[in-house]
Amino acid sequence: MLYQQIARNKRKTSLVMAAFFLLVALVGAALGYWFNGSAVFGIFIAAVIALIYISVMVGRSTEVVMNMNHAREIHSATEAPQLWHVVEDMAMVASVPMPRVFIIDDPSPNAFATGNDPQHAAVAATTGLLQLMNREELEAVMGHEMSHVRNYDIRLQTIALALSAAITALVNFAGNFWWLGGGRSRDDDEDSEIGVLAIFGSILLVILAPLAASIAQMVLSRNREYLADAGSVELTRNPQGMIAALRKLENVQPMKQADPNSSALYITDPEKNAKHKRWFAHLFDTHPPLEDRIKRIEEM
């Protein structure tokens, strides 16, 4: 069951990332057709913009994310012995290099991992997490984060964030300069029903693109959280530790200084109380409901 779940989630992730790149291409094609009468030209420009965003985000992800979340780095076990040794142990079990370790001064329990790859990874835990969790539960949480590192989820989330930013930039350009477009395509296809439909479709696609990008990010994040939970069980050989940790995260207060753009990175949504929500309130969450995550582990 464990390895089947891991394989299934990896396949879903590949499909979501393919859909993300397809969405960028479609937005580029729509803008290219509207402004230049050429969908191919638009796809080329969109690809260039996306690559620029990805390069910038991947190159500076750790520093940017840690600064946005007010995290301070610790450099030895003397500063936070239990956290340091647990991260060290989980990195060894996961066969990845020891990541940089950060602490966020916040009473709400939470944690996340970021970076470009396992060789340049970093993990962060809040002071609330260190106070609430016993060693077994802390191992489960860090096993979850180390699974994100081992599975390259940290890079996937960075790329997804960059693609969303690229889509936003393209849509903002269209919103600011829409009046410059449409001339060439209308001249060529003034009496063409196909041309009119293509223009209408381009406008509709550009309007809906940011929502589609948000949904893609949501699906990607949810899928990777299930996979990281399973990965933690694989690393610790202790499903009860992961279950106990998730139960302690069910009824906690939101974090005070978490950056909204980093919400998908955390083990649970830092901006919302995970419990006492109606089913429809979970539809647009970046994380699956904790009760669902616990149920999946219990079924392993």
Marked catalytic residue, from 63, 79, 88, 145:
145
Closest CA to 270 of 128, 110, 145, 161: 110
Closest CA to 62 of 96, 113, 105, 97: 113
Q: What is the DSSP string of 116-159?
A: SSGGGEEEEEEHHHHHH--HHHHHHHHHHHHHHHHTTHHHHHHH
**What is the DSSP pairing of strand 121-126 with strand 100-104?**
parallel
Q: Report CA Rg, the chain.
A: 22
User: How far apart are alpha carbons 141 and 143 in whole angstroms?
Assistant: 5
C-alpha distances out from residue 256 to 72, 113, 126, Å: 16, 19, 11
Other Cβ atoms within 10 Å of 296 Cβ, number: 16
Q: Is 145 an annotated catalytic residue?
A: yes
Decide if 222 contacts 142 (C-beta within 8 A): no
**What is the DSSP pairing of strand 100-104 with strand 111-115?**
unpaired
Active site residues: 145
